Amino acid sequence: MSIMEAHKRNEHAIREIQHDISTHDTIKAKLVLQDITAYPAPVQKRLLYEISRAVDSFALPLLAFLWRVHRNIFSLYPGLYEIFLSKARHNVQFVLSRIQPGEKYLSSYAWLCGELPIPEAADPLLDALYKVPQTHTIASIIKALGRMAEPRAVKPLAEFVQVKDSPLAVHAATALGRIGTEQAIQHLDQALGHNENVDQAIVAICKELKTQSAQRLLNRSLVHAHASVQDLAASTFVHLGSPGLSILHANLNQGPFDLQLRTLDILGHVRDQSSLQPIRRLLNAHPEEKIRAAAYTVLGHLPLSQGAYVLVSGLTDTSKPVRLAAARAADQNAGPFMLQGIQNLLHDEDHQAMLIVRTLFQARAETLLTSLWENFRFRHLAVRVAESCRECSAHELLTSLPAEDIHPDNR
């Protein structure tokens, strides 16, 4: 097509839409808009401008047509969203009259009902839900009911969630999350672990809503969702930060093993000092070895200016992995209180003191080791440990110190 021919075609389209609007010829106007993507941007804008000036009763069906056929136009020209919504907002009864199974552009009007929202549309939308065959229309109705937070939609939406391998299950899960009633949350809880896509939708809506019920559901996702989604739920809690800590701290008191372990990992990333007391209570309850080791690892990431002594007790744990975790955490909090606490435990130079020093070497707690070297009891114990422990970390440290420091006369 030559430049001249293209220019004539563009001019014809603009004159045609103007004529169609003046004569209220919806059919011909749709024929022009059917090819709107074939026109250059300036012509597209002019056609949309003419529609925006048209009376609402004429413009709304055209905009509904565009929404159904050329959704990308709304993304290209975001102002079109507000034009569509504004005209619908002033013509609610017109929109409601189009909520029926036989409406060709029902998905467009359903979207309007959810966005505005229009509560009166709940009954006709629920009535149409099982009467339309098109998946995209059903999806639009489901989304609208969710955005309207219509509690009567919970039961039918729960049925869609249970349909295996259905794309509508994901939309239904999101809608249930937005409705947010106890019954809706219960259905989502029961759906966890059966469909990975649904699990992802549940976590996504929990992240969006940030309500207490959403946090409880997100917490359940940590252990009941698919494995990959459990990681997503954990990262969502990390992103949520301090607002999600109360439910995480409760996990440490009453949660099962897997949930406690996952919770500790999250707390290690959030790094909030308020986690100190719940972790202390967990340790006082003498949990399993993996839980104790994880707890001390988390404590190493917390600012423990007043609670560093908690780590000292971990240096005498009966489990080597736990002692190592406590030693590494102590090394990250090697302040005056920490050093004093360790020196008190070394005072008797007994088996426990030897075990602590050996653990510090094994954990490569270099900050603590170099700071404690000034203490003669520690130097004495360190040399004794080095003589019996062939781990390279001990030798590396001793050989890095000045020779006079490890001479027998200085023991």
> Where is the domain boundary, 260, 277, 303?
303
* Residue 284 identity (one-letter amino acid): N
Contact 170, 185 (CB under 8 A): no
The answer to whether residue 231 is domain-embedded is: no
Q: Residue 339's pLDDT is what?
A: 86
Task: Please enumerate in sequence order all residues whose Cβ is within 8 A of that of 67, keeping only pairs 6 or more positions apart, or say none.
Answer: 74, 84, 105, 107, 108, 111
- The count of domains in the chain is 2
d(CA 386, CA 373): 14
The answer to whether residue 344 is domain-embedded is: yes
The answer to whether residue 201 is domain-embedded is: no
CA 211 to the chain's CA centroid: 13
d(CA 154, CA 308): 50
CA 301 to the chain's CA centroid: 22
Q: Residue 397's pLDDT is what?
A: 55
Domain that holds residue 264: 241-303
> Where is the domain boundary, 285, 303, 321?
303
Same domain, 278 and 319: no
| Among 42, 48, 41, 40, residue whose Cα is nearest residue 18 | 48
Same domain, 319 and 289: no
Same domain, 278 and 317: no
Same domain, 251 and 268: yes
CA 257 to the chain's CA centroid: 22
Q: Is the pTM of this model over 0.85?
A: no
Same domain, 320 and 346: yes
Same domain, 370 and 345: yes
The answer to whether residue 381 is domain-embedded is: yes
d(CA 313, CA 328): 13
- Within 10 angstroms of residue 39's Cβ, the number of other Cβ atoms is 18
The answer to whether residue 144 is domain-embedded is: no
The answer to whether residue 32 is domain-embedded is: no
Residue 274 per-residue DSSP state = G
User: What are 214-240's pLDDT values in tens digits?
Assistant: 999 999 999 999 999 999 999 999 999
CATH number for the domain harbouring residue 253? 1.25.10
Same domain, 272 and 353: no
Same domain, 319 and 410: yes
Q: Which residues of the chain have pLDDT under 70?
A: 1, 305-308, 388-411
Q: Residue 19's pLDDT is what?
A: 97
Cα four-point dihedral sign 185, 187, 193, 194: negative
Same domain, 319 and 255: no
Contact 51, 63 (CB under 8 A): yes
Same domain, 404 and 330: yes
In the structure encoding, which two tokens stand for residue 381, read together?
């114990």
* Residue 304 identity (one-letter amino acid): L
Same domain, 288 and 336: no
The answer to whether residue 71 is domain-embedded is: no
The answer to whether residue 281 is domain-embedded is: yes
Same domain, 393 and 331: yes
What are φ and ψ of residue 218, in 5° steps? -60, -40
> Where is the domain boundary, 283, 303, 323?
303
Helix (H, G, I), strand (E, B) or coil at 40: coil
